[in-house]
Amino acid sequence: MKVAVLKGGRSLERGVSLRSAARVEDALERLGHEAVPVDVGGDLVKRLLAEQPEVAFVAMHGVGGEDGTVQELLEILGIPFTGPGVAACGRCVDKVLAKHELRGAGVATPDWFAFNETAFRELGAADALSGLEQRLGFPLVVKPSRGGSALGVKFAASWFEVPEALVSAFSYDERVLLERFAEGRELAVSVLGGEALPIVEAIPGDGDRYDFEARYEIGRTEFACPAELEDTETAAVRGAALAAYEALGCSGFSRVDLILTADGPQVLEVNPIPGLTDTSLLPQAAEAAGMSFEQLVERILELALAPAAA
Amino acid sequence: MAETPHRRRAHTRTRDLERYAGLFAERTSVMRSSAMRDLMAITARPEVISLAGGLPDTSTFPAGTFAAQMTKIAQESTAEALQYGPTEGFAETVDCIVEVMGAEGMLPDPDDVIVTTGGQQAIDLICKTLVDPGDVVVCEAPTYPGAVPVFCSYQAEVVQIECDDDGMKVDELEETLARLDREGRRPKFVYSVPTFQNPAGVTLSLERRLRLVELARQRELLVVEDNPYGLLRFAGEPLPPLYQLDGGDFVLYIGTLSKILSPGIRLGWAVAPPPVMEKIVLGKQAADLCTSTLTQHFVREYFAEGRWREYVESLIEIYRGRRDTMVEALRSHFPAAATWTEPQGGLFIWATLPEYIDTGDLLAKALRENVAFVPGQAAYADESRGRASMRLNFSGVGDEEIREGVRRIGKAVAEQVELYGALTGEHEVGAAPAEADEPGRADVLPFRKESSG
């Protein structure tokens, strides 16, 4: 089967995408497919028309690839593709929109407030900030609404740190959210074709609790899969993850990040196209479920070609 | 039909990764954050105006000269130019090096010189020779971003000494040395780029040079002087290199042809007293046996022609113009709260923004405007420092791109300043830098102190 592997693009997560794609291309070749690597740029449509792939494997992260843009083009061209569709990508990649959808569907997510840059520049929103203290408490998390990985995500331990954190977050997007810090165990549930894979727990090293960048470095964060949880906890976490996946309309595969607090799981976000690098969580979860990386890739392709079966 | 000549390695599974992870040397654990690495990778896109690189201008090197010299090598010395050479380098190459050092008043003994694969290898070899895990290495704050990974890979503990407009604060160095004494620790060496420093663009004053050399002698402390830019002076009077002041007893010297001829030929050198040199040679032998002989032949021919200084003069003219363009653009486009250095030579300007701006995040915003710079944190071993600063290169791109690049960065900065003002109710006050006593130049550089968190 001829598979176009879409990767790269102009997103800030280009590097991760290239690493994910390289791995997928290798797996496709091992599976006997013809992998056509496509670094997404101005010639994307021309390339796809010329290559006529039977299916597109979207291995892009961040703005451009994960937000529905590329998916929309693939729909127009009539090429089936892996991962969630246009609408689901659009909902997931915008964390504010995603949180509204989650809450609307009764899925627990930490309290938050979202602001546009114009609200501060033109509407004096800064004056409203002081009223948020008792609503969110400290520390709180400031993050760009769109954008993946840890870029622009900061903790603020007090009000004095909020303006600086906002300036950083606004470097990545014109909308940011201030979110209540959910204390608890950090878990990730990869969902493949509507089924939850074993839960991964991220265990940050000492002192890295408030350092998002550290979490993405090998060796500084340990991952346990499957996470050691009570049966009831496992059930609650999987339930929350599947509900989030459903609420945002995901299909194919996605990864749900959540915190298991004393009051149960709180969903932080859903990554419509999670990383597939050799340190990424979805492949770890698949392996814990007894799936090799090739089997994972094959399954993702199957789901893309028979979306109704998902 | 030929098969594709390159094949990617077979993929690794998570389990494989764990297997490798168990094998990695401890020194590999001191890697830069991957998010920042990915961000820097994007700066290489063709549509991005990059003020991030450290690239000299190679576009004006006469192609005819290059062709004639390579032809001559092919005709007269093919066998030798394609053969291995001595680990120390050819004697003829060392003669060229002695000539370059002589141009700055230094008179090294040719036996004390080793030819290296760029100045970068000289840093590596000196660390290899001197640094054990846990040893203290002292350097400037900020320091050459390319030296940080070398120090880290030898697991040195890096102690950085603040700079101001006159380079490293030597009194602060003295205090630090005294503190280390009390802790029973002795730094292996002090690494310094005293002239037109990378990244700060500042130059160590004569008074401080003398004091540093005196300290080195008193304490029998080694100083590693890295001097890639000394000959690229566009203003002011030349200052004697530390090596010249010391005579080569306690100052180890690193030089390179990268900035006065070509970085692509990878030719640098180290100068050290015989006992140290002996170890460096052994290290070089283990690393790569010898520096490219083809390169060394080219250098020999190039210097034989006797016009290398003319070429350096032509570069100085180009860079002086570009520095002026960049300073002018900074005055026009950077907000009043920003300061920057105004170097008398070299390739870089170091700009410092209000403390609340994180230049790592600013880079993401700037990249959307297709412009790039090096975030200041790259110049610190402790990545929480230098967050409000950036390194700007003015040698690698033309005047038009410098103007446009600085304009775009300035716009991104202005937006953040305005936003911060709106968030805190603080609005910018104070004169624009252009109205300061000495236009565009702060009396004391506001190098950022360690963040209070």
Distance separating alpha carbons of residues A170 and A176, to the nearest angstrom? 7
- Rounded Cα distance, A191 and B131, in Å: 49
A149 flagged as catalytic: yes
Of these ranges, A59-68, A250-259, B425-434, the one predicted with the greatest mean pLDDT is: A250-259
> B446 falls in which pLDDT band (50, 70, 90)?
very low
The pLDDT value recorded for residue B6 is 52
Given a cut of 80, whether residue A310 has pLDDT beyond it is no
Verify whether the Cβ–Cβ distance A16 to B38 is below 8 Å: yes
- Shared domain check, A168 and A224: no
Of A205, A192, A179, A157, the closest CA to residue A258 belongs to A179
| Residue of B448 and A28 predicted with greater confidence | A28
Work out the minimum CA distance from A104 to partner chain B, whole angstroms. Answer: 31
Strands A34-39 and A2-7: parallel
Residue-level pLDDT at B30: 64
At residue B134, what is the residue type? G
Q: Domain boundary residue among A180, A201, A220?
A: A180
A10 touches chain B (CB under 8 A): yes
Query: What local confidence, expressed as pLDDT, does residue A222 receive?
Result: 80
Residue written as token pair 């190679």: B58
Helix, strand, or coil (residue A253)? strand
pLDDT number for residue A210: 52
Spell out the long-range contacts of B173-176 with Cβ–Cβ below 8 A and sequence spacing 24 or more: B173/B138, B173/B212, B173/B215, B174/B215, B176/B138
**What residue of A is the nearest CA neighbor of B31?**
A217
Q: What pLDDT, in 10s, does the model give residues B318-343?
A: 999 999 999 999 999 999 989 999 99
Phi, psi of B49 (to 5 degrees): -75, 110
pLDDT classification of B2: cutoffs 50, 70, 90: very low
Scanning chain A, the segments in alpha helix (DSSP H) are 14-30, 44-51, 69-77, 86-93, 95-104, 117-122, 126-129, 133-136, 162-169, 212-215, 231-247, 281-288, 293-305
Q: Per-residue pLDDT averaged across B99-107, rounded?
A: 97
- Whether chain A has a CB inside 8 Å of the CB on B16: the answer is yes
Going A188 to A66 to B37 to A162, the CA torsion angle's sign is negative
Q: Which of A23, A126, A213 sits opposite B423 (nearest CB)?
A: A126
Average pLDDT of the segment spanning A137-141: 89
A216 noted as active-site residue: yes
Q: Which residues are CB-contacts of A127 (< 8 A; sequence separation ≥ 6)?
A: none
Residues in A touching B35 (Cβ below 8 Å): 149-151, 213, 216
Q: pLDDT at position B438, please?
A: 38
Statement: residue A291 has pLDDT above 90: yes
B23-47: pLDDT as tens digits: 878 777 665 555 566 667 777 778 8
State the nearest Cα–Cα gap between A90 and chain B, in angstroms: 20
Is there a single domain that holds both residue A210 and residue A74? Answer: no
Please say if A255 is a catalytic residue: yes
Looking at residue B80, what is its pLDDT?
92
A271 among known catalytic residues = yes
- Report the pLDDT value the prediction gives residue A128, as an integer from 0 to 100: 77
Q: Under a CB-based contact definition with an 8 Å cutoff, are residues B150 and B198 in contact?
A: no
* Domains present along chain B, CATH in parentheses: 28-57+311-426 (3.90.1150.10), 63-304 (3.40.640.10)
- Count of structural domains, chain A: 3
- Beta strand pairing call for B339-340 and B348-352: antiparallel
Identify whether residues A291 and A256 lie together within a single domain.
yes
Of residues A153 and B321, more confidently modeled: B321
What number of C-beta contacts closer than 8 Å exist between A and B?
111
Q: Which of B42, B358, B420 sits opposite A14 (nearest CB)?
A: B42
CA distances to A95, A136, A268, A298, B273 from A110, rounded to whole Å, are 12, 9, 7, 35, 64
Q: Quick one: A195 and A227 in the same domain? A: yes
Dihedral angle, C-alpha A285, A182, A216, B159, nearest 10 °: -150
More confident residue, B255 or B443: B255
Distance from CA of B13 to the nearest CA of A (A): 6
Strands of the sheet containing A2-7, edge to edge, are A34-39, A2-7, A55-58
pLDDT digits (tens, 9 = 90+) for A255-277: 999 999 999 999 999 999 999 98
**DSSP letter (8 states) at residue B43:** T
Do A154 and A194 fall within a single domain? no
Q: State the ipTM, two decimals.
A: 0.83
CB B347 within 8 A of CB B54: yes
The answer to whether the CB atoms of B358 and A168 lie below 8 A apart is yes
Q: Do A198 and A102 fall within a single domain?
A: yes
Q: Does B411 touch chain A (CB under 8 A)?
A: no
Question: A309 pLDDT band (50/70/90 cuts)?
Answer: very low
| Lowest-confidence pick of A62-66, A302-306, B131-135, B211-215 | A62-66
Among the candidates A122, A148, A180, a domain finishes at A180
In a shared domain, residues A200 and A61 = no
Instruction: List helix spans (H) across B31-82.
Output: 34-42, 63-81
**What pLDDT score was predicted for residue B425?**
78
The SS3 assignment for B250 reads coil
| Most confident among A61-70, A280-289, B100-109 (mean pLDDT) | B100-109
**pLDDT reported for residue B282:** 97
Q: What is the mean pLDDT of chain B?
A: 88
- Asked if A174 is an interface residue toward chain B (Cβ–Cβ < 8 A), one would say no
- Tell me whether residue A13 is one of the annotated catalytic residues: yes
Query: Which of B4, B14, B355 has the highest number of chain A CBs within 10 A, making it the mutation to test binding with A?
Result: B14
Task: Show the tokens assigned to A261.
Answer: 């607090």
Per DSSP, what are the bridge partners of residue A81? A56
**pLDDT value at position B157?**
94
Of residues B217 and A134, which shows the higher confidence score? B217
Q: Nearest by CB to B11, which of A26, A120, A172?
A: A26
Chain A residue with minimum CA distance to B16: A278
pLDDT in tens, B211-220: 999 999 999 9
Region B360-384 average pLDDT:
91
Same domain, A267 and A205: yes
In this prediction, what percent of chain B has a pLDDT beyond 90? 76
Show the domain range for A45: 2-82
The mean pLDDT value of chain A amounts to 89
Residues B252-275, mean pLDDT to the nearest whole number: 96
pLDDT at B354 over 50: yes
| Measured CA distances, A15 to A82, B8, B387 (Å) | 20, 17, 23
Render the burial of B410-446: b for 16+ CB within 10 Å, e for the rest: bebbebbbbbbbbbbeeeeeeebbeeeeeebebeebb
Consecutive H or E run containing B279: helix B274-288
What distance separates the 2 farthest-apart alpha carbons in chain B?
A: 73
Residue B16 has pLDDT above 90, yes or no: no
Q: Which of B239-254 are b and which e, b meaning 16 or more Cβ less than 10 Å from the residue's Cβ?
A: bbbbbbbbebebbbbb
Q: Which of A221-230, B25-34, B75-84, B228-237 has the weakest average pLDDT?
A: B25-34
Put simply, the answer to whether A219 touches B362 (Cβ < 8 Å) is: no
The angle at the Cα of B134, spanning B128 to B138, to the nearest 5 degrees, equals 75
Distance of CA B215 to the CA centre of its chain: 24
How far apart CA A4 and CA B106 sit, in angstroms, is 60
Burial A278-289 (b: 16+ CB within 10 A, else e): bbbbbbbbbbbb
> b/e map of B323-354 (b: 16 or more CB within 10 Å)?
bbbbbbbbbebbbbbbbbbbbbbbbbbbbbbb
A140 and A233 both lie in a single domain:
no
Q: Which residue has the tokens 């290898």?
A: B121
Residue B444: pLDDT over 60: no
For residue A123, give the CATH number of its domain: 3.30.1490.20
- A133 catalytic, yes or no? no
- Which member of B8, B31, B35 has the closest CB to residue A150? B35
Q: How is residue B329 written in tokens?
A: 């653009």
Q: Does B427 touch chain A (CB under 8 A)?
A: no
What's the pLDDT score for residue A15? 84
Of the listed A13, A67, A173, A186, which one is catalytic?
A13
**Rounded to a whole number, what is the distance in Å from the CA of B135 to chain A's nearest CA?**
23
Closest of B234, B405, B266 to residue B334, by C-alpha? B405
pLDDT of residue B310: 95
Q: For residue B417, what pLDDT is reported?
A: 94
Q: Does position A127 have pLDDT exceeding 90, yes or no?
A: no
User: At residue A71, what are phi and psi to the nearest 5 degrees?
Assistant: -60, -40
Q: B148 or B126: which carries more pLDDT confidence?
A: B126
Say if residue A101 is in the same domain as residue A241: yes
- A257: annotated active-site residue: yes
Average pLDDT, stretch A157-176?
A: 91
Contacts of B90 (CB under 8 A, 6+ apart): B115, B293, B296, B300
Q: By CA distance, what is A279's nearest residue in B?
A: B14
Give the residue-averaged pLDDT of A56-75.
90
Q: Identify the CATH number of the domain in which residue A208 sits.
A: 3.30.470.20
* Among the ranges given (A200-204, A293-297, B244-248, B342-346), the one the predictor scored with the smallest mean pLDDT: A200-204
Q: Which residue has the higher pLDDT, B367 or B44?
A: B367
**Nearest CA among B364, B365, B320, B322 for reference residue B344:** B320
Using an 8 Å CB-CB cutoff, list chain A residues near B390: none
**What mean pLDDT is predicted for residues B157-185?**
96
List, for residues B154-163, the tens digit of each pLDDT value: 999 999 999 9
pLDDT above 70 for A148: no
B38 has a chain A CB within 8 A of its CB: yes
Residues A149 and A240 in one domain: no
DSSP letter string, B365-402: HHHHTTEE-EEGGGG-SSTTSSTTEEEEE-SSS-HHHH
What are the two backbone dihedrals, phi and then psi, of residue B440, each rounded to the nearest 5 degrees?
75, 5
- Which of the four pLDDT bands, split at 50, 70 and 90, describes residue B18? low
Work out the pLDDT band at B164, boundaries 50, 70, 90.
Answer: very high
Per the structure block, which two tokens stand in for B364? 């993401």
CATH code, domain carrying A61: 3.40.50.20
A240 touches chain B (CB under 8 A): no
Span B403-419, average pLDDT: 96
pLDDT of res. B23? 81
What pLDDT band is residue B179 in, cutting at 50, 70 and 90? very high
What size, in residues, is chain B?
453
> CB-CB: which of B12, B16, B34 is closest to A216?
B34
Check if A26 contacts B (Cβ < 8 Å).
yes
Q: Retrieve residue A176's tokens.
A: 């940011």
Query: Measured between CA atoms, how close is B92 to chain A, in angstroms?
Result: 44
Over residues B298-305, the mean pLDDT reads: 95
Residue A73 and residue A123 in one domain: no
Could you give the CA distance from residue A74 to residue A61 in angstroms, rounded to a whole number?
16
